[in-house]
Amino acid sequence: MSSISLTAKAVRRGLLAAAVTGIAFSGYATAEEAKEGKVERIEVTGSRIKQVDMETASPVTVITAADLKVTGETSVADVLNNSSINSFGSWRGMSGYGAGASATSDVNLRGLGSQATLILLDGRRMPGTSSSSGTVADTSSIPMAIVERIEILRDGASAVYGSDAVAGVINIITKKDFEGVELNYTGESPDVEGGDSSRFSVAAGFSTDKGNITLTFEHYDATSVYDRHIWDEGGADWFLNNGSSYSPSPSGYYNTGVLNEKGEEIYDFYYNADTCAQTDATQEAASRCLYDPGSVTKLFGNVNRNSILSNFNYQLTDDIQFRGRASASLSETNTRYAGTPVSTNQPVMDADNPLNPIDKDLTLYMRSAQIGPRDTTTETNSIDFLAGLVGYWDVGNGIDWEINAQHTRSTTDSFNYNLINDNIVQDLIDSGEYDIFNTTGMSYEDWNAQMTDLYGQAAHTGVYQAQFNSTQFDGLLSGMLYEGNGVTLAAVVGAEYEMIEFVQLSDPQSAAGIISGGSGGDDVDATRDRSSGYVELQSSLPYNIDLSAALRYERYEQEGNIASGHVSSTFDSVVPKLSASWRPVDSLLLRASWGESFRAPNMGEMFAGEALSFEYALDSLWCADNSDENYCANNQQHKTFYGGNPNLDAEEGESLTLGFVWNVTDDWSIETSYYDISYDNKIEVVDVDDLIREEIANGGSQYIVRGSDGKIETIHSQYRNLSALETSGFDFVTSYNQETDFGDFRLKLEMTHVLDYKTKADAESDFFDEAGLQDLPQWRGSASVNWTRDNWSAAWTTYYIGSQDSGADIYKNDDLIDVSSYFKHNVQLTYAHNWNGSVTLGVNNLFDEEAPTWYSYDGYRDVNTGLYDVLGRTWFVTINQKF
């Protein structure tokens, strides 16, 4: 969806409102300039210097309001996720994730991670989510009703916009200078049970000869989707590969006292076959009682969100304008995960316990499904205020200036019900009053009531709270330094200062590590000051050559509390960017840009305490020489503690982009770009699979703790600076317009091909190219046909994700399978009636294309929900009315 246009050498103000790219607010020009008929310069994403040409040396994808309508998608998050340069998909909030992450979405350009993509709203940083320590914006919180267009800068831009812009910048431009009232309603209903949504918005605007004010309100509501309605489940094979050993009908793991032929101790499970057979969602498999965790959980939770945005401006004098923006978003998400496995501190039953069925020490695998699933209510609220002055000084060639103040606050409150206090469970088992294996032969009803009482006494409500506060002051001066003899030199100089406070807290019991089912412990109390100064120069030379250079100095000073005390760190860097463009003929633009970037570690990455999670991984070390059908499965969960690392270094990046824009005819345009990005010191939590592979390679690991049976007991991971990541590829966009007697047609094709995606875990390792392996498709794209005639219009958009190799030979995992190509078709028909409104009927995923699975069996969440559509065919209607 790239905007490709001819040189805009004589664009007037009236045309700019519909056609040009703006960074913050519409371009400012004085009355004198308009009277003199000077060419107005406009702001283009990728530079803070106003341009006379809408195409510059930096590649920018523009998704207009018209483009948004024909996608068929109803949220900003889904539109961005379908973009071809979002090559490997993005996070979409799902049940089972802490720190408010189950209620958010993000975007991941070029596969470099969501924290390497900077999200702007009208050219200014959006408030971040608590789950990212305030550094990643929630794209699902942006109301579609306020969006005028979305601009995606497809190369590094730290020199222009500051750190975090390693992979690129997404600039969401909101509606301004709007008059009248506009109402919109969209309703969606997928074929699967659940997932119905409705979105209602009202936008109003009022203008005078001195200024304008717009106000947009949107209400969004979506019903939940249960896992059981998405995944194929059931049968002994399914339970064997997907069932959890933590069951509401407990199992006990014990040392049999027998040695195998290698002289190793043999372990086994004890369980009650009668209670297992009568308990919902359980089945005997792999010598234990297994539970189906997806039988009651929600994949996507219920969402209720209200958003409001107001833009306003007022002409104080002929040369000074006051501008401002106020926004608020309040959302509530209700997610559900399986009943709590008592696993943070696994209970035991001593051999001398009067209710021990085999007189051997038992490690217990229990789940509190009797008191219900884990329901989580997450409330996320954010407010944002901006006020500034924009002016003009009639000095020399004229100087544009602006000063701004902005305050943002974002809060997350999460309440996690039906968690379990491990200490209470252990005390009740030790009391000898609870016959969890039903050794006394109670009826099933009496046994179940006893288990309900046990878990009811141990029930706990986990509380997570986070608050992110940001106050920023900034200003800039820009103008033409020289103009004459076919040469111009323009410059901008500016400075920014931001103060950030971030706090996230869990309830004391969760933070102490005695609660199962939650993720407490990753408490953060930190501050961050960001100061920067920048300069940008741009020169237009004879023969239609443009050169530009940008330089930014940025400094982060942050401090916080960790277990050993108070620590502080300072990160600073000077990052440059150079670019050039040349028009050998008016219809062809050749361009190149190179730049460096950096990202300071955020406050959570540095200062978070250890949080508990249960990660899926195959223990390929133990399972290479041993057999346990349930343990040696891809979905085996391992108790994993994640924590911050105060010794992190800043990430550094370098990007090169080459390409051209060719307007072959007035109706046909082509854009092609090559990108090459290197990313050093990349900060990541080391994946459990990588830790296991590292353990095998090194003959041991300080991060993995194994029990006497050799199986993994706990894993400790933390953020680390991995050595490097390198990726390169091509973007291709072409569009064609054709007028016929049967209506006007617009055809568009957008493709991204990833040439390589190479990573290495440390300085001693070799680069490993992962491009084309599972979840990392080399090809992604879309094609659309849009038809309009009189009051009618129609659109057909096809999204494509390329096939992927299983990597089974690389990862030594025969359960992995090759992934086939994926096509999703969205179709819609619109009628614009004579009462200044329209009605649109459409269906997304017309042919109900199923997303490919990861493994050789259909299992519990075995599909990449960030890359593929798992809801299937979805019908929608949109009603628009203007007054």
Residue 38: per-residue pLDDT: 47
> Is the per-residue pLDDT at 848 higher than 60?
yes
329 or 627: whose pLDDT is higher? 329
Average pLDDT over residues 336-357: 93
> Is the per-residue pLDDT at 26 higher than 60?
no
- Which range among 32-41, 372-381, 476-485 shows the weakest confidence by mean pLDDT? 32-41
Residue 721: per-residue pLDDT: 85
- Which range among 191-205, 422-436, 637-651, 848-862 shows the weakest confidence by mean pLDDT? 848-862
Distances (CA, A) of 255 to 269, 287, 873, 875: 9, 14, 51, 56
Distances (CA, A) of 422 to 412, 430, 463, 640: 26, 12, 17, 17
Beta strand 168-174 pairing with 588-599: unpaired
635 or 636: whose pLDDT is higher? 636
**pLDDT tens digits, one per residue of 505-545:** 989 998 888 999 887 767 889 999 999 999 999 999 999 99
Distances (CA, A) of 74 to 134, 147, 540: 25, 12, 41
d(CA 296, CA 159): 49
User: What DSSP element (H or E) covers 265?
Assistant: strand 265-271
Strands (E), 366-458: 374-393, 399-421
> Is the per-residue pLDDT at 298 higher than 50?
yes
> Is the per-residue pLDDT at 332 higher than 90?
yes
716 or 782: whose pLDDT is higher? 782
Q: Residue length, the chain?
A: 883
The answer to whether 498 and 530 are in contact (CB under 8 A) is yes
Of the candidates 533, 536, 504, 497, the residue with the CA atom closest to the CA atom of residue 519: 504
The answer to whether 269 and 292 are in contact (CB under 8 A) is no
> Is the per-residue pLDDT at 264 higher than 50?
yes
54 or 600: whose pLDDT is higher? 600
**pLDDT tens digits, one per residue of 705-745:** 998 888 898 888 888 887 788 999 999 999 999 999 999 99
The β-bridge partners of 594 are: 578, 656
Of the candidates 38, 57, 36, 37, the residue with the CA atom closest to the CA atom of residue 46: 57
d(CA 417, CA 510): 12
Residue 365: per-residue pLDDT: 95
Greatest Cα-to-Cα distance within the chain, rounded to the nearest angstrom: 101
**pLDDT tens digits, one per residue of 383-425:** 999 999 999 999 888 999 999 999 999 899 999 999 999 999 9
The answer to whether 476 and 402 are in contact (CB under 8 A) is yes
Place of tokens 């270094």: 649
> Is the per-residue pLDDT at 8 higher than 50?
no
Residue 52 has which token pair?
């006379």
Q: Alpha helices of 684-778 — where are they, by DSSP H?
A: 688-698
The answer to whether 302 and 334 are in contact (CB under 8 A) is yes
Q: Which residues, including other chains, have CB under 8 Å from residue 505's CB and lie 6 or more apart?
A: 464, 465, 466, 511, 523, 525
Q: Which is it for the CA torsion 596, 4, 493, 172, positive or negative?
A: negative
Q: How many beta carbons lie within 10 A of that of residue 460, not counting itself?
A: 22
Residue 30: per-residue pLDDT: 34
Distances (CA, A) of 283 to 250, 252, 275, 287: 12, 16, 10, 10
Residue 70 has which token pair?
């024909």
Looking at every residue in the chain, the average pLDDT score rounds to: 86
Residue 36: per-residue pLDDT: 44
pLDDT above 70 covers a percentage of the chain that reads: 89
Q: How confident is the model at residue 237 (pLDDT cuts 50, 70, 90)?
A: low
10 or 830: whose pLDDT is higher? 830
The answer to whether 866 and 81 are in contact (CB under 8 A) is yes
d(CA 33, CA 22): 19
Residue 241: per-residue pLDDT: 67
The β-bridge partners of 466 are: 412, 504
The answer to whether 18 and 552 are in contact (CB under 8 A) is no
- Can you say how many angstroms the Cα of residue 667 is from the centroid of all Cα atoms in its chain? 36
pLDDT above 90 covers a percentage of the chain that reads: 52
d(CA 324, CA 491): 25
The answer to whether 709 and 700 are in contact (CB under 8 A) is no
d(CA 858, CA 451): 32
Q: Which residues, including other chains, have CB under 8 Å from residue 789's CB and lie 6 or more apart?
A: 742, 743, 744
Residue 367 has which token pair?
């789940």
658 or 97: whose pLDDT is higher? 658
Average pLDDT over residues 244-259: 92
Average pLDDT over residues 300-320: 93
Q: How confident is the model at residue 860 (pLDDT cuts 50, 70, 90)?
A: low
The β-bridge partners of 640 are: 613, 715
Residue 739: per-residue pLDDT: 94
Residue 704 has which token pair?
């993995």
Rounded to the nearest 10 degrees, what angle do helices 444-458 and 422-430 cross at?
Answer: 130
- Which range among 89-98, 840-849, 851-860 shows the weakest confidence by mean pLDDT? 851-860
Give the CA angle between residues 815, 817, 822 to the nearest 5°: 145
Give the CA angle between residues 133, 138, 141 to the nearest 5°: 135
Residue 136: per-residue pLDDT: 81
Residue 656: per-residue pLDDT: 95
The β-bridge partners of 148 are: none
> Is the per-residue pLDDT at 158 higher than 60?
yes
